[in-house]
Amino acid sequence: MSAADNPAPDLVAHGADLEELSVASDGCTACELYLHATQAVFGSGETGARIMLLGEQPGDEEDRKGAPFVGPAGRVLDEAIAEAGLDRGDIYLSNVVKHFRWKPGPKKRLHQKPSTRHIRACRPWLDAELTLVDPDVVVTLGATATQALLGNEAKVTRDHGQVFDWEDRLVVPTIHPSAVLRGPDSEERRRLRRLLVDDLVFVRERFL
């Protein structure tokens, strides 16, 4: 199983739109993650959105509902988007991996980071989204998305809020909204929330 098994490039070549790609991704078997997930979670938003926000993979709630960032991290992200003065219409929201990777826990399914192999297998779906949406900037949320694009040397704590060249596009890393939720105390959570909002304000001022 490899990216070569991913049907996305063929679909794009034949003129598929985002809706058709979304439906097709649900039938993807290019890596094994589809076996244990409820459904693929494709990006949401419109062709021509000027900002792409890119997360890691769907979480438990996203897996059940079939839409990106509709769980606890999504609520933090929604608030940060609004506070930064961004409009949902300006944004296309997606993940570097489309199926939820998890392991059984005592009470609920536990998130597992996707591996480099999963990210590589799923990359044609992201490339298809980039081709169709053609955003002016990709904002990577957290280490997985940032390193998937910019390489393993990229470091969100150091590089966030800066503009990087990547394959004829521009990338601005920032923290993942779930990092805000994981902050050890309310002061740290407030600081991280501020950082996320400030980076999104920077993106709005620079790209809209």
Q: Which residue, 128, 130, 156, is CA-closest to 144?
A: 156
Minimum distance from residue 10 beta carbon to ligand URA (Å): 26
Minimum distance from residue 151 beta carbon to ligand SF4 (Å): 20
Interaction between residue 56 and ligand URA (CB under 6 A): yes
Helices (H), the chain: 8-13, 18-25, 60-65, 72-83, 116-133, 142-150, 156-159, 177-182, 186-207
CB pairs under 8 A, 24+ apart, for 10-17? 11/128, 12/127, 12/128, 12/131, 12/132, 16/128, 17/47, 17/132
With CB under 6 A as the contact rule, the residue among 95, 140, 146, 147 that binds ligand URA is 95
Interaction between residue 58 and ligand URA (CB under 6 A): yes
Minimum distance from residue 71 beta carbon to ligand SF4 (Å): 18
Of 95 and 174, nearer to ligand URA (C-beta) is 95
Minimum distance from residue 77 beta carbon to ligand URA (Å): 8
Of 2 and 115, nearer to ligand URA (C-beta) is 115
Q: Which does 55 bind (CB under 5 to 8 A by kind): ligand URA, ligand SF4, none?
A: ligand URA
